[in-house]
C-alpha cells in the first residue's frame, strides 16, 4: 500500500509538493507474541514502543553510564535469540537547552546505543537510530522528575515482512 500527501504553496507562483511512502502490513494473527522478561511492554507483537529500566547517559552527553550497558547487554541477548527482529532506536530529551542542540543530542544518544549493540555482535542492518529531541515528552518538563522521564531512549522491535 502506498500513501501520500500533497500541498500547494503560493498564490501566484503555485508550487506543489508530493510525498509518498510505501507501507507494508502483516496480519496480526500471523505473528506470535514475543515475551521479553524484564522489559516494559512484556508481550510484544512487534512494532510496540518499549523502554528499558536504567538506560541513562552522562548529563548533556551521549556517553552511556555503566549501568546502562548491562541493560543493553540484555537487549542484545534478546536480539541474538531472535535473529529475524529489527530494532528501531528513538532518542528523546527534555526541553532544557536549545531545540537544535536537543535534536542533535537525542540522535547522538540513539546512535550510541546502536554502536554499543553493534559492538555486541548485532548487525547494523538490524538497527536504525533516530533522534526526536524534545518533540515528544511523556511528562511535564516543569519538574525535575518530569525532565528525567523525558530524557529517554525507546525501542521498537519488529519483524520484517516475509
> For 135-162, what is the mean pLDDT?
87
**Cell representation of residue 67:** 549501568
- For residue 14, being part of any structural domain is answered with no
Query: What is residue 21's predicted lDDT score, i.e. its pLDDT?
Result: 67
> What single-letter DSSP state applies at residue 93?
-
- For residue 133, being part of any structural domain is answered with yes
pLDDT per position as a tens digit, 73-103: 989 998 998 888 899 999 999 999 999 999 9
Look at the chain and report how many structural domains it folds into. 1
> For 122-143, what is the mean pLDDT?
95
- For residue 80, being part of any structural domain is answered with yes
Are the C-beta atoms of 45 and 27 separated by less than 8 Å?
Answer: no
Query: What is residue 19's predicted lDDT score, i.e. its pLDDT?
Result: 66
Better-predicted residue by pLDDT, 144 or 48: 144
Q: Which helix (H) or strand (E) covers residue 72, if one does? A: helix 66-81
Query: What is residue 85's predicted lDDT score, i.e. its pLDDT?
Result: 87
Are the C-beta atoms of 90 and 155 separated by less than 8 Å?
Answer: yes
Query: What is residue 30's predicted lDDT score, i.e. its pLDDT?
Result: 47
- For residue 17, being part of any structural domain is answered with no
The CATH number linked to 53 is: 3.30.1330.60
pTM: 0.72
Are the C-beta atoms of 149 and 139 separated by less than 8 Å?
Answer: yes
Distance CA 140, CA 84 (A): 37
Q: Which domain holds residue 151?
A: 28-158
- For residue 102, being part of any structural domain is answered with yes
pLDDT of 108 over the 90 cut = yes
> For 10-21, what is the mean pLDDT?
62
Amino acid at each position: 500500500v502506498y500513501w501520500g500527501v500533497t500541498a500547494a504553496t503560493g498564490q501566484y507562483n503555485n508550487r506543489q509538493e508530493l510525498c509518498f511512502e510505501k507501507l507494508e502490513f502483516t496480519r496480526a494473527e500471523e505473528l506470535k507474541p514475543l515475551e521479553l522478561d524484564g522489559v516494559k511492554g512484556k508481550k510484544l507483537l512487534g512494532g510496540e514502543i518499549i523502554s528499558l529500566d536504567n538506560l541513562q547517559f552522562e548529563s548533556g552527553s551521549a556517553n552511556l553510564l555503566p549501568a546502562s550497558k548491562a541493560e543493553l547487554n540484555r537487549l542484545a541477548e534478546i536480539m541474538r535469540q531472535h535473529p529475524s527482529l529489527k530494532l528501531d532506536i528513538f532518542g528523546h530529551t527534555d526541553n532544557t537547552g536549545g531545540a537544535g542542540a536537543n535534536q542533535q543530542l537525542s540522535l547522538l544518544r540513539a546512535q550510541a546505543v546502536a554502536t554499543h549493540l553493534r559492538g555486541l555482535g548485532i548487525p547494523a542492518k538490524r538497527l536504525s537510530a533516530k533522534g526526536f529531541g524534545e518533540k515528544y515528552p511523556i511528562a511535564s518538563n516543569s519538574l525535575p522528575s518530569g525532565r528525567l522521564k523525558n530524557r529517554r531512549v525507546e525501542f521498537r522491535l519488529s519483524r520484517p515482512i516475509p
